[in-house]
Structure 1
Amino acid sequence: MNHTLKKNAVDDFTLWSNLKNDDQRSFSLLFERYYSDLVNYGNSLSPFSEKVQDCVQDVFADIWLYRNSLQEHVVVKAYLLSSVRKRIARLFERDHIFRKTTSTDVIEFLFDFSIENDLVEDEVTAERVLYLNKLLNELPSRQKEALYLRYHQGLSVDQIAELLNINYQSANNLVYRGLLTLRKEWKGGIPIIVLFSGVFQIS
């Protein structure tokens, strides 16, 4: 295996294939690439930060332990996010936070959206930005999570559906309804809002 791999120079598929073939360096690079994102996502599902970190580490431990039997073709980021969500659901079940269930749809999404500060150029803009934050954070939990996964994590609707254990139409409806609410209520003069790590089109 190539042990001169650079952190951001190799695509996920190559790293995944390499780790399946026992390359520890590729495994380490995937860990470094996604650990923070996975912890942040986990923290949006559970208020217990230390347990979230344990869950994320357990996911990676299982990946390395069962590396030779992993699927060949996966979207790595979506796979990791889904694995963390399922691990947290099992944690909740074990700790009796909710009754036994094979679904993760009972998990409440705790993430609070916040518009980038560099958009705030004056008092009027600041008030509009605060209002948009309020609109986002008042969306139903599942809509919030769908928008987070779509625009912050860059997942496709298909991937969101698989992660949330729902069909494509249901996932598409979550994204659409969230955006529809924002478009109906948003009265600001900023057509494009920079949210998350990408661009969120409101107009």
Structure 2
Amino acid sequence: MPFSNTYLLDEPSVPQLWDELRSGDKSALEAIYKLFIKDLYKFGMSLHADDAIVKDAIQDIFIDLWQYRARLCGDAAVKQYLFKALSNRIQKELGKDARRSKLNWLTDEDKSAVISVEDEIVLRQTETEITGKMKQAMTLLPLRQKEVIHYLFFEKLSYEETATLLGINIRSTYTLAWKAISALKKAITILVFILVTG
């Protein structure tokens, strides 16, 4: 996307840029793009390791931002808004528009949903040591589980914020996190075994 260098990145605040974008200032779109492109690309690749799909999805998001600028919410959390838009776009590209219906079983009735405090503490304590292996293991997770792990442990969002971004209730978010963490632990154990015995 060809942009000029109108804004320096340490100048207007993100909310100010967002307001200027909503008012039709194309250079504000440029500045938002520059501020978030690296995070968006990294996030997109964590969901689906196809460079072309991720880049196209990011391009489409910014085209939509400009096209529908007048309809944008004034008090949006911009980074979270962009992440959610990118996730939706990638899932649409992968033909997963029906993803929400597939998640209907994740309801408040699922009593096994609550992740144990011990599991969460253990994961956070060892996070630094296993980050590299976790990234490898994450490629094996379903897209929705990749998303919840990215929000919780890489973006450091709360379960409440993550639930809002995913458009599901908090218990469903716990369920996704629990399933993802369980799968990651299993995958990491296998990876460690391969490294040790390889």
TM superposition score normalised by structure 1? 0.61
Q: Mark the CA change 1:105 to 1:137 in structure 2 (over 3 Å): closer, same or farther.
A: farther
Residue 19 of structure 1 pairs with residue 16 of structure 2: no
Q: Mark the CA change 1:19 to 1:134 in structure 2 (over 3 Å): closer, same or farther.
A: closer
| Match of residue 133 from structure 2 | 133
Q: Which has the higher helix share?
A: 2
Q: Mark the CA change 1:64 to 1:132 in structure 2 (over 3 Å): closer, same or farther.
A: closer
1:155 offset after TM fit, Å?
Answer: 3.0
5 Å matches for 1:18-97? 18-93=20-95
Q: Mark the CA change 1:61 to 1:104 in structure 2 (over 3 Å): closer, same or farther.
A: farther
| Match of residue 107 from structure 2 | none
The alignment partner of 2:32 has SS state of helix
Counterpart amino acid of residue 72 in structure 1: G
- Count of aligned residue pairs for this structure pair: 156
Alignment check: 8 A CA contact 1:7 1:29 kept: yes
1:35 offset after TM fit, Å?
Answer: 1.1
Counterpart amino acid of residue 149 in structure 1: Y
The alignment partner of 1:146 has SS state of helix
CA RMSD of aligned residues (A): 3.7
Distance, in Å, in 2 between the alignment partners of 1:20 and 1:46 is 30
Q: Mark the CA change 1:51 to 1:135 in structure 2 (over 3 Å): closer, same or farther.
A: closer
Distance, in Å, in 2 between the alignment partners of 1:133 and 1:145 is 17
Alignment check: 8 A CA contact 1:104 1:164 kept: no
| Match of residue 103 from structure 1 | 100
Distance, in Å, in 2 between the alignment partners of 1:181 and 1:164 is 20
Which has the bigger relative contact order, CA under 8 A and spacing at least 6? 2
The alignment partner of 1:37 has SS state of helix
Counterpart amino acid of residue 81 in structure 1: F
Alignment check: 8 A CA contact 2:61 2:85 kept: yes
Alignment check: 8 A CA contact 2:80 2:165 kept: yes
Structure 2: stretches of 5+ with no match in the other structure:
104-127, 185-198
1:60 offset after TM fit, Å?
Answer: 0.6
Instruction: Name the % identity.
Output: 27
TM superposition score normalised by structure 2? 0.62
Structure 1: stretches of 5+ with no match in the other structure:
107-127, 183-203
Distance, in Å, in 2 between the alignment partners of 1:177 and 1:47 is 21
Distance, in Å, in 1 between the alignment partners of 2:9 and 2:99 is 36
